[in-house]
Amino acid sequence: MKKVKFTFPTDLIKEPLIYLLSQKFKLITNIRRADVRPDVGWVVLEIEGTDEEIELGLDWIGSQGVRVDPVGGDIIEG
């Protein structure tokens, strides 16, 4: 499992990219925290799958224009 933060620019906020990520790759996504506004949105996710599928999925979503950052620590309490 990997914890990541996706930051979506304005033009991608309404796109179903997290859904597509789970459909294109053998991944389970679990949204832990999110804030979506008209001009920017971010989501903290837990992603489960093989290391290879996770890396392929993160490379793909990054190529779509989403910023991907690792998350450490307890994202529920933090």
Distance of alpha carbon 21 from the chain centroid: 8
Distance of alpha carbon 6 from the chain centroid: 4
Encode pLDDT of 5-60 as tens digits: 999 999 999 899 999 999 999 999 999 999 999 888 999 999 999 999 999 999 99
CATH number of the domain enclosing 27: 3.30.70.260
Contact 61, 5 (CB under 8 A): no
| Cα 33 to Cα 2: distance, rounded to the nearest angstrom | 15
Burial class (CB in 10 A: 0-12, 13-18, 19+), 61: buried
In the block, which residue shows the tokens 């459909």? 23
Give this prediction's pTM.
Answer: 0.87
Look at the chain and report how many structural domains it folds into: 1
Q: Which domain holds residue 26?
A: 2-52+65-70
